[in-house]
Amino acid sequence: MSRHFTALTSLATLLIVACGSPDGELVADGGEGDADVGVVFVDTALVDTALVDTALVDTADAAPPPTCDVRTFGAKGDGKTKDTAAIQRAIDACAGTGGTVLLAGGTFLSGMITLGSDMVFFVDAGATLRGTQDDADYPDTHPATDNTQLLNCRKTLIYAEKAHDLRIDGRGTIDGNGNTPKWIGPSTLHPEATRPMAIYTAQSQRVTIAHVHVVNAAMWGVVNLEADDLWIHDVVVDTPLSGNRDGLDVVDCHHVLIEDVTITSEDDSICLKSGTARGVDDVLVRRAHIVRSIVANALKMGTASYGGFTHVTFEDVVIDSADKAAMAVESVDGALISDIAFRRIQFKDVGSPFFILLGDRGGTPAGSAHRVGSISGVHFDDIVGTSTRHTWGSPISGTVTKDGNIHRITDLTFTNVVLDVSGGLGSVPKDPPEYVGQYPDPNLWGDTPAYGWFFRHVDRITFTGGSAKTAKTDARKATETRDVTGLVVK
């Protein structure tokens, strides 16, 4: 994937970057300090892109940017007083200056706050921004887009819209405080749009979210919608409460780097979504640790899937547990999916290793044309998986639409994929029916006729190296195909 974020690995140019130490002091790499400051290696190609904020590069003559301590603006930080207005005053004073809004030494209770451009929002180590449990403190947000995900994404604790050069940092805690009965339970009783996310940016550019610990979001944890040049790193997300609480969501974003994150989520852990024609392009997720997805998938594209998913790579990921798929690729609303890579993924205790579905459930944005999507060029390299918790196998299927046309998945490769699944079925199940628009998860057909891979309506599949076996005797074969051409085993 020859995109500018992957150039980070070349480390060509040495810059000394001060990323908003509260006292303005430049701290050398490895030194102690309250912010992400120090020696940073950056490729020269990145100097004019998202990852280098020129406002943060130390120069001899530049005046130091301000530090806006929220206590100076009236915040109490006692965990009881609502500090929303004081924090917002500090943000408004700091926005546009390149300065830092500082939360330190306390628990700051707040409703929704709105961040601006050219600023750092810094939750210091030991400090907590905690959301209130008062619905009135979370007004609806209204970014100007036809994105279908606005059906879910309306309320949030931290918000930014059309911001640029924004950083959320500080090694502190952002606590959604979502453990209240009115926000817990199935979305049929408590719809996503009525519950606040922890962090939500919309239509913003050059956003960095780093080092924070996000806990107990009342809805999805960290959500970025229609953003360009997004960098999320060294973030811990812990959102285990029900219902439908994702970890990280990337919605119709371009040029995204996610690295060194740890996720525990009730729903999907790292999820790419598309609810508009803009689509998702140029995403690299690396060195992620999925501790657990309690009811859903670890790494996923979909379910919302209208625009494309292109040039996406997941690499060096460890998955400890996921009830559904370790890796899911879904186009059920019209998404054109291509150039997808999963590399060096280790997983255990998952429902299915792989789930790939091309279908038509008709999730079309308002004013857009209905279409059936495509999936082509999905590659799995150096995958090691053990101890599946269910016996579904890995369903991989194109679809037959209502007009009788067959829409095929094309060009899949599995290189050095080693599976040791649970197995244990004493008979071979019947072939599953065609997809007819139900919610797409790997359990939608129950047990499939293969313990490893069940392929249907697929052209050109290549296996190179690897192996598959079961811990318990199973009547099924490792691989079954239906309406498949070009299967090559090397």
Q: For the chain, first and last CA: distance in Å?
A: 25
Question: Binning pLDDT at 50, 70 and 90, where does residue 187 land?
Answer: confident
Given a cut of 70, whether residue 55 has pLDDT beyond it is: no
Q: Give SS3 for 203.
A: coil
Q: Dump pLDDT digits (tens) for 222-261.
A: 999 999 999 999 999 999 999 899 999 999 999 999 999 9
pLDDT of residue 40: 33
Q: Dump pLDDT digits (tens) for 106-140.
A: 999 999 999 999 999 999 999 999 999 999 999 99
Q: Dump pLDDT digits (tens) for 5-29.
A: 443 433 232 232 333 344 433 233 3
Question: Binning pLDDT at 50, 70 and 90, where does residue 286 land?
Answer: very high
Q: What is the DSSP letter of 266?
A: S
pLDDT of residue 189: 87
pLDDT of residue 276: 97
CB neighbourhood size of 2 (10 A) = 7
Residue for token digits 């339970």? 185
CB neighbourhood size of 404 (10 A) = 6
Question: Binning pLDDT at 50, 70 and 90, where does residue 335 land?
Answer: very high
* Average of per-residue pLDDT across 165-193: 94
Nearest in space to 219 (alpha carbons), one of 243, 238, 188, 252: 243
Q: Dump pLDDT digits (tens) for 409-432.
A: 999 999 999 999 999 999 999 999
Q: Give SS3 for 92.
A: helix
pLDDT of residue 393: 98
pLDDT of residue 22: 44
Domain boundaries, the chain: 306-490
pLDDT of residue 61: 64
Given a cut of 50, whether residue 333 has pLDDT beyond it is: yes
Q: Compute CA 36 distance to the chain's CA centroid, rounded to the nearest angstrom.
A: 22
Given a cut of 80, whether residue 44 has pLDDT beyond it is: no
Question: Binning pLDDT at 50, 70 and 90, where does residue 57 land?
Answer: very low
The amino acid at 406: I
Which positions ≥6 away from 404 have C-beta within 8 Å? Answer: none
